[in-house]
Amino acid sequence: MKPLLLLVAYLAAVTLPLVLSRLINAPPRALHQELASGLGILAFSMVLMEFVLSGRFKAISKGIGMDVTMRFHQLMARTALAFALLHPFLYQRTPSGGQRPWDPSRQLTITTDFAALSTGIMAYLLLAGLVILAIGRTQLSYKYETWRAMHGIGAVLIAALLLHHTVSAGRYGSQPVMFWLWIAMTGAAVGSLLYVYMVEPLRERKRAWQVASVTPLGAEQWELTVTPKGHSGLKFQAGQFAWLNVGHSSFSLKENPFSIASAPAAGPDVSFMIKEFGDFTRAVGQIEPGTIAYIDGPYGNLPVDGRPEPGVALIAGGVGLAPLLSILRQMRLTGDPRKVKLVYGNRTADQIAYQTELGTQGVTYVLSDPPTDWHGKSGLIDGALMDQIFLPEEFNEWVFVLCGPPAMMDIIEAHLRKRGAPPSRIMSERFYYD
């Protein structure tokens, strides 16, 4: 029910300005002119709702997954851009300029006031640029923190420009009820951003952590463990993730999302499995014990606590082992009676992490580039391999938790559905958005 309720709440929020505009007793206009105004209103309200969708609010992402929330954020940003692009062209054949004898209120004409139009044009261009840069972020050379700052500042500028354009050039925006509604919605949107970047960091300062250890796991992989500094730690469920900030101020944008590899039952220390990939991760092996760290979390929708299925299937590719390791550790520590099988794939043998701890009981190791003396499974994790490992009744009755490369998850999810596993028993989270 939660996704449906959130969708209804979203639709109510973005259409509220449109509904109130319709209730204003304005002179009738041609359909294409009303459609132009409507698309402009919807584009602005959708842009404002983007602040909430991207604000890392647990109340929204919990139960549906942050990946779903962010995908919806992306989809709505592109929809808002499409509405904004269509909006001015639909005003064709509409009289422009100042007052007409037959239109003393100037409600049936388009303003030619440059100040009112220029802010709309600038917002128009900025929104297009912001969406394009977001889509092509992984192909660009600048750092994630740089992109994140540009994205936030750009969003605030767009909101401010659209507010001015709407209340000064819009047919309905200058009406008192609409003016105050737009002020309130813009304030709430920018306030959500301030909450994420100001209020939350202030709270995190009171709950600092420090690095306890940095341990090599294998080829370009590390386990980083942090311990709470003067507080009880983090309440999380096995399978969740958090944003980790190491060695910087709590207000810094230099934080990255990592799945938690430790189990809640293991104590207050929290461990992360980190693969060398970006600017921060390549230097993780140089982090000294005692370095201050901050955690924002937990997030994630992979926990299997309290689920009724008789068995848990964990399908991991590479560093995707981390959240599934947390689940496996928690099940072992708490004596969970459910059956469990882990399928763990890598390219080479030196990439296998925690092999001694994992053991061989219920664990299948898979290598796509195995050595000559390899005795485990070879190739990719695909449907044929799943059929070798799982019984027909397990496909129908167990819960399957997937984390790894998108291509692997696509193949396995399709095969699980083909074998009769209902969508409610297939759990995954994806962070490769484009």
Averaged pLDDT score across all residues of the chain: 88
Q: What is the pLDDT of residues 25-58, one digit of tens each?
A: 777 777 888 898 899 999 999 999 999 887 677 7
CA atoms within 13 A on the CB side of 344: 26
Per-residue pLDDT tens over the stretch 76-108: 999 999 999 998 888 777 666 665 555 555 566
For residue range 314-348, what is the model confidence (pLDDT) as tens digits?
Answer: 999 999 999 999 999 999 999 999 999 999 999 99
Split at pLDDT 50, 70, 90, the class of 434 is very low
Structure tokens at 383: 């449907």
* pLDDT above 70 (res 188): yes
Note the pLDDT of residue 133: 83
Among 397, 401, 404, residue whose Cα is nearest residue 422: 397
Task: Find the range with the poorest average confidence among 14-18, 148-152, 184-188, 271-275.
Answer: 148-152
Query: What is the reported pLDDT for 103?
Result: 59
Closest by CA position to 70, among listed 61, 79, 59: 61
Residue 302, pLDDT above cutoff 90: no
Terminal CA-to-CA distance of the chain, rounded, Å? 28
**Omega prior to 298 cis, within 30 of 0:** yes
Name which residue leads in pLDDT, 29 or 397: 397
Mean pLDDT confidence for 373-386: 92
CB atoms within 10 A of CB 199: 11
- Taking alpha carbons only, the member of 17, 59, 24 closest to residue 41 is 17
How is residue 350 written in tokens?
A: 């030196």
Cβ(165)–Cβ(123) below 8 Å? yes
CA distance linking residue 305 with residue 323, whole number of Å: 13
Question: Tens digit of pLDDT for each residue in 341-374?
Answer: 999 999 999 999 999 999 989 999 999 999 999 9
Distance of alpha carbon 235 from alpha carbon 265, whole angstroms: 10
Whole-prediction pTM value? Answer: 0.82
Predicted confidence (pLDDT) at residue 396 exceeds the cutoff of 70: yes
With cut-offs at 50, 70 and 90, classify the pLDDT of residue 280: confident
Check: CB of residue 47 under 8 Å from CB of residue 158.
Answer: yes
